[in-house]
Amino acid sequence: MKLVDLRSDTVTRPTPGMREAIARAEVGDDVFGDDPTVRALEERVAGLLGKEAALFVPSGTMANQVAIRLHTAPGDEVVMEAGAHPFNYEAGAAALVSGVQIRPVPGRRGVMDPADVAACFRPADPHFAPVTLVCAEDTANRGGGTVHPLATLDALAEVAREGGAATHLDGARLLNAAVASGIPAARRARAWDTVSLCLSKGLGAPVGSLLAGPAELIARGRRVRKALGGGMRQAGILAAAGLYALDHHVGRLADDHRRARRLAEGLAEAGYAVQAPETNMVYVAVPDAPRLQAEAGARGVRLVAVGPDRVRLVTHLDVDDAGIERAIAVLAELRR
Ligand code: TLP
């Protein structure tokens, strides 16, 4: 039975071409700043995101946590949407690493209303934790892989700036947003001080993320990365996979988006309550999510329960049209 793994776009395996690029990579000791492939990737991504510099880190979680550490002091408050990754899925790292509290702001499909963010800023008063950072996520994962309207991205950053806070954009899937909207990643991230990008999601690389921003901040980020244990040595073998992904796997994100739409359509026809996808994620409301996860998994279709009554299916490099049709057929059968 061929498995159709729709749990996440993180499950992809490197393609033969990517493995070749890994094998050929020139390397050095990156903690000494000697790895030419890591340097090349950092420069390339800084350019892609329209920032002065970028830092290669092992994960999206570390990219976000380095950013939070750089922008805040212990006791500060960080505003983000209630479904945001650092609030839900980073093991409490913002408290552990930076000693900050997170203020979750409910949004619409993962997108905050700038007025709600403005309302988080309170007068200087010894009772209040100062808001020193506002984060957003583009695409917004738990929101449904939602693409922020450009005006909202700009307005959120503006409201933060007016309140005296820094801004960080979790761009784990920023290239999905760029491809879906036709608006370049650098433009989407323009108003934000720092922005992260993951190579190990839709781009199909095995490991790695980047944090981009002003050169002085990113230089300080190198020390935070080291302190968190993220200083890697011959990391060029990973960076080579990232460079390969940027050369070969960006345009094809449109295929993932098309397959997500087909999946959503097929599931809706089968009677499921599907949230219309904007990129590569399909969220479905179901009566018993853990049960559907188990039953579909037993039939070779893997998805994740992201709550008691909600499942997520994600399209990616390793799922083709046949896989999508098989997932639809299996889930339709389970609905009967
Ligand atoms: N997301 C994973 C899980 O952790 C939920 C997934 O399967 O979607 N920002 C965003 C928006 C993310 O979706 C993720 C990973 C991260 C950051 C963290 O990246 P990693 O897993 O590399 O630490």
Give pLDDT tens digits for 65-97: 999 999 999 999 999 999 999 999 999 999 999
Ligand 1 and 200: CB distance under 6 A:
yes
- Going by the DSSP 8-state scheme, the letter that residue 77 receives in this structure is E
141 within ligand 1 shell (Cβ under 6 A):
yes
pLDDT at 145 > cutoff 90: yes
Task: Classify residue 7: in a domain, yes or no.
Answer: no
Residue 163 located in a structural domain: yes
Q: Is the confidence at residue 326, as pLDDT, over 80?
A: yes
Which pLDDT belongs to residue 170?
A: 99
Which atom of ligand 1 lies at the shortest distance from residue 304's CA? 7
Residue 2 pLDDT: 84
Number of domain units in the chain: 2
Q: Cα separation of 323 and 20, whole Å?
A: 26
pTM above 0.95, yes or no: yes
Percent of the chain with pLDDT over 90: 99
Mean pLDDT for the chain overall: 98
Closest CA relative to residue 63, chosen from 219, 186, 191, 221 = 221
Ranges of H-type helices in the chain: 16-24, 36-49, 60-71, 85-88, 93-98, 114-118, 141-144, 150-162, 174-181, 185-188, 215-227, 236-248, 253-269, 289-298, 321-335
To test the ligand 1 pocket, which listed residue (81, 174, 201, 238) has its Cβ within 8 A of the most ligand atoms? 201
Give the domain-ending residue among 214, 231, 248. Answer: 248
| Domain identity same for 193 and 281 | no
Q: Is 9 in the pocket of ligand 1 (CB under 6 A)?
A: no
Give the pLDDT band (50/70/90) at residue 156: very high
Per-residue pLDDT at 1 exceeds 90: no
Angle of helix 253-269 versus helix 321-335 axis, rounded to 10: 20
Residues 28 and 141 in one domain: yes
Question: Domain range spanning residue 171?
Answer: 16-248
Binding site membership of 89 for ligand 1 (Cβ less than 6 Å): yes
**Six-digit token string for 120:** 């988080």
The mean per-residue pLDDT over the stretch 101-125 comes to 97
* 194 occurs within a structural domain: yes
Decide whether any atom of ligand 1 lies within 6 Å of the 59 Cβ. yes
What is the whole-number distance in angstroms between the Cα of residue 85 and the centre of ligand 1? 7
Read off the pLDDT of each residue in 173-185 and give the average, rounded to a whole number: 98
Distance CA 336, CA 334 (A): 5
Instruction: Kindly state whether residues 89 and 130 are assigned to the same domain.
Output: yes
| Single residue among 200, 215, 248 that ends a domain in this structure | 248
With a cut of 90, say whether residue 322 has pLDDT above it: yes
